[in-house]
Amino acid sequence: MGDPSTSTKLKQSHPSSAPAMDLLESSYAFLRMIRTEMGLFMYQGECCPWDSAVTFGNTGVQVTGSNSVPHLMTRLEVPFLLLEPPSLSAGRDKRCCHCCLLGRAAQAQGQSCEYSLMVGYQCGLVFRACCVKGQETAEFAPGDVGDLQEAAKVSEIEEGQEDPYLNDRCRGGGPCKQQCRDTGEEVVCSCFVGYQLLPDGVSCEDINECIMGAQSCRLGESCINTVGSFRCQRDSSCGTGYELTEGNDCKDIDECESGIHNCLPDFICQNTLGSFRCRPKLQCKSGFIQDALGNCIDINECLSISAPCPVGQTCINTEGSYTCQKNVPNCGRGYHLNEEGTRCVDVDECLPPSEPCGPGHLCVNSPGSFRCECKAGYYFDGISRTCVDINECRRYPGRLCGHKCENTPGSYYCSCTMGFRLSSDGRSCEDVNECSSSPCSQECANVYGSYQCYCRRGYQLSDVDGVTCEDIDECALPTGGHICSYRCLNIPGSFQCSCPSTGYRLAPNGRNCQDIDECVTGIHNCSINETCFNIQGGFRCLAFECPENYRRSADTRCERLPCHENQECPKLPLRITYYHLSFPTNIQVPAVVFRMGPSSAVPGDSMQLAITGGNEEGFFTTQKVSHHSGVVALTKPVPEPRDLLLTVRMELSRHGTVSSFVAKLYIFVSAEL
């Protein structure tokens, strides 16, 4: 067998595997005990083939044997973690053999046959099978050789028999997900530490120790669940000057030992909990104290020591020490030392030429002080200790003067705003009648505190000085064209309207022009055979003769004579009527100027109206209103005054007979005003 110190080395390199290492040491002791060929025969039935040598170097087993007799294991070195074999064919048997040896060793030592989780599930099954089989077939003490031989005989007998664990339902893991145990009657599944069996009795799930309260975290630590276990994590950091240990504790950092301090060369580093201090190497003399930079600062003993000097003396600080000086009498305000310097006497503040109260005010001395008797209009100011003028205007606002108050030393006076003068009481203000001095060019009205100028009709107040009245040119105003119907003439303060020299006269309102009807007034010059016709601004003398085959039936009408054998006569109009029209040039168009139709309408009448003469410029047109009526309309304005003669022909169809009528329209277009 190898060196037993191998197991000791494994325990040192893997402290957490101490129980498994104890089991390995027991295995070494057991293997030393069974150094006969019969000793290993009883393991052959479990899983170890002895017909060939199996070598696993320093991490496995070296076994030499023959087909007939198994030989002694000459070397066994079992590490804590059983590695996978280098080759799949030989490695499985070798690993099985290792696990079986561990089970046999546990049985020989009287230990439990429940395998450790550290060996793995498959290895644990072999471990348990060999351990249980050893308890059933080989009850011997580790040092009893005779019992070993007896156990060997029993093993030879069992060799030929069928292995009962070949029918173990937990072989290969069975139905369980983690641990399996066949009791003979049933298969019992269990879980590793940190897991719990699910209701299906087969599967396992992780236990949350943090929720179940199965954790052991300390105060200030938080539990964090992991698969199969948990870990504790500190809630807060350790802070400056501390570091976190593996045990989740805070440990002070020795900055002086680690050399991470910043002390100057003239200082010595002294570690403290969570920090460090720099102590100066240089020590100050008595009467001095050292600052943070190592400088020596003088101590003021007069402040730091209670009553350093005796009564009647004053402490005076010196560099590194202090001295005591005899007290000199200190006189208060209003007193001073006498000539001997032994006592305090009163100061006469009122002694001339001093005037502490101010010029003109009475000063009265008193022990240690003085008082002032101020004149009327002044008050004594306790801060400046002088007589100060009273600002009556500010103290009594709006109560002293009617308008304005102005302060003066010791008094005040009143004044008035423009337009007022001070009354006899010296405080009130009364209105000034500015109109008495005739400031306006025309009319003046006095108002309270001022005056107002205004102008007569036809004038307006000047925007420059507000007192001069200027004539209003009514004819030049934007509405000047509508003041007079014809012509406007401005005069001072008013205006006059005028009319054309002939044909018009001024209306009673003085603005419009009225046409003079010369025919009515008899101022026309028409002959007896002529008819006077009045038009706007004039008149016309009209005379007409009936044409051939016609006779006059009225002043303005001609009737056709009866037709005998004259064939052209029936084609002539039955009647010719003369009409006189007058309108100005600015008449609004279109405008109906004449209406024509039969005097009496008969059902079935039909008429046609047409202008047959005088419309060469196209001012007029005819429009049919109904079957028996039509009109003549002005469609475009006549630009200038003129006389027009318009011939209008109407053809009336009645009971199958067509008759014609003619209207002679004398149109007189007059000038607009």
CATH topology of domain 546-670: Immunoglobulin-like (2.60.40)
What average pLDDT score do residues 210-234 get? 85
Best CA proximity match to 502, nearest among 518, 487, 490: 518
Torsion on CA atoms 212, 217, 222, 228, rounded to nearest 10: -50
- Weakest-pLDDT range from 209-218, 400-409, 477-486, 491-500: 477-486
- Residue 306's φ and ψ, nearest 5 degrees, are -80, 120
Q: Does domain 335-390 have CATH number 3.50.30.60?
A: no
Domains 335-390 and 394-431 share a fold: yes
Residues 6+ apart with CB under 8 A from 517: 534, 539
Distances (CA, A) of 27 to 48, 62, 109, 394, 554: 16, 15, 9, 118, 172
Number of H helices, E strands in the chain: 11, 45
Q: Report CA 527 to chain centroid distance, whole Å.
A: 101
What is the amino acid identity at position 200? D
Q: Distance (Å, rounded) from C-alpha 293 to C-alpha 157? A: 94
CATH architecture of the domain 394-431 equals: Ribbon (2.10)
Backbone angles phi, psi at 125, to 5 degrees: -65, -45
* Torsion 458-461-462-463 (CA) sign: negative
pLDDT at 529: 84
The secondary structure of 383-401, three-state, reads: CCCEEEECCHHHHCCCCCC
Q: How far apart are CA 528 and CA 543, in angstroms?
A: 10
Assess contact for 579 and 665: CB atoms under 8 A: yes
Q: What is the pLDDT of residues 167-178, one digit of tens each?
A: 778 877 788 988
How far apart CA 362 and CA 367 sit, in angstroms, is: 17
Q: Which are the contacts of 206, defined by CB distance < 8 A and separation ≥ 6?
A: 194, 195, 225, 227, 228
pLDDT of 409 reads 92
Break the chain into its structural domains and give their ranges: 5-167, 335-390, 394-431, 546-670
What is the model's pTM? 0.35
Mean of the per-residue pLDDT values of the chain = 77
Is it the case that residue 39 has pLDDT exceeding 70?
Answer: no
DSSP-assigned states of every residue in 405-452 = EEEETTEEEEE--TTEEE-TTSS-EEE--GGGG--SSSEEEEETTEEE
pLDDT tens digits for range 596-613:
988 888 888 888 899 999
